[in-house]
Amino acid sequence: MSAKIFDGRAFSEKIYKNLKARVKKLKARGIVPSLAIFSSEGSLAAESFVRSKIKDSEKIGMSCRAVQMSSFSRLKNYARAIENAVKDKKIHALILIKPLPSGLDMEKLENLIAPEKDAEGLSPAHFGRLFGARDFDEIKEKRLIVPATALAIAEILKELSFPFKGKKALVIGRSNIVGNPAAHLLTMMDLTVTLAHSKTRDLRKEVEESDIVVSAVGSPHLVKGSWIKKGAVVIDAGTSAVQGKLTGDIDFDGALKKAAWITPVPGGVGPVTTACLLRNVVFLAERALQK
């Protein structure tokens, strides 16, 4: 058996088709949806993350600007730059990406991003709405702002011809940006979800018993191909640089022999995450117009 490889780029194009029409409508009213990405200089992964957002934004007529902070920036400089962007009416959304200069507190800076400009949906107002939603359809209907990678994972699963309702899913990683909201979304899609983390006693057993395995850790080849259940769906959100190459959490070649579907790294979750993030920006720009 050889798994089907999910084409994240092709799927993101489907999302962009709909998004382009929304951007066009906003532009007709003089609004160019605009995202500001704050990152620190010196990280190749961050640079590649920013490049892909700028490239896709341009493709659909949005604006995306990189605000690159010095790796020696102090908290007050970072905070001032974020506060200025929050006040700037031409910027509809902001995100802050890791790594930050050493010693800076991510949470303190994230708290400066007002919910109406929070493109990742990490502020309590967005998180509360996400965890209070009745089901996945409500999230879509109300255009809630959901962490983009978590939403990308759920959207990918929905896109596959795989009868996932009631099946056992394992999400590895419990951060607020990926694992935790992904586990919640899959629960709302009627899967039976286990959330694993660094203290999980027997990860291998959890993987072996799961029909869907989602990994969001950032540990190359943490999950061995031989652990994957025959016919499972494997969604790898992990990204680590190994000898200059982007590598996932799951042993791709091994898992390919066992799974029914698998997402590659790069080219799987990543492009869909970009599309979901840009869609959040468009939603925020639309809401700003309604105020």
Binding site for ligand NAP (CB under 6 A): 149, 172-175, 177-179, 196-200, 203, 216-219, 222, 237-240, 269-270, 273
How distant, in Å, are the alpha carbons of 99, 122, 190 from that of 184? 26, 14, 10
Dihedral pair phi/psi, residue 107, rounded to 5°: -60, -40
Nearer to ligand NAP, 235 or 256 (CB): 235
Q: Measured from the CB of residue 133, what is the shortest distance to ligand NAP in angstroms? A: 21
Q: Which is nearer to ligand NAP, 99 or 254 (CB)?
A: 99
Cis peptide before 33 (omega within 30 of 0): no
Distance set, CA 269 to CA 87, 133, 237, 242, 262 (Å): 32, 24, 6, 18, 10
**Residue 112 to residues 72, 90, 94, 108, 149, Cα–Cα distance (Å):** 20, 18, 10, 7, 22
CB of 270 to ligand NAP, least distance (A): 4
> Smallest gap, in angstroms, from Cβ of residue 196 to ligand NAP?
5
Of the pair 179, 225, the CB lying nearest ligand NAP is at: 179
Least distance in Å: CB of 215 to ligand NAP? 8
Nearer to ligand NAP, 26 or 127 (CB): 127
* Side-by-side strand order, sheet with 212-215: 4-5, 261-262, 233-236, 212-215, 168-172, 192-196
Kindly state the smallest distance separating residue 266's Cβ from ligand NAP, in Å. Answer: 8
Alpha-carbon distances, residue 142 vs 22, 133, 138, 219 (angstroms): 16, 9, 6, 35
Q: Closer to ligand NAP by CB, 3 or 203: give it.
A: 203
Looking at beta carbons only, is 93 or 237 nearer to ligand NAP?
Answer: 237
Nearest approach, Cβ of residue 251 and ligand NAP (Å): 14
Q: Least distance (Å) from ligand NAP to the CB of residue 88?
A: 25
Phi and psi, residue 86, nearest 5°: -65, -35
Please give the residue whose beta carbon sits closest to ligand NAP in the complex: 218
The backbone torsions φ and ψ at residue 81, rounded to the nearest 5 degrees and listed phi first, read -65, -40
Closest to ligand NAP by CB, 34 vs 274, is 274
Token pair belonging to 185: 């979304």
**Gyration radius (Cα) of the chain, Å:** 19
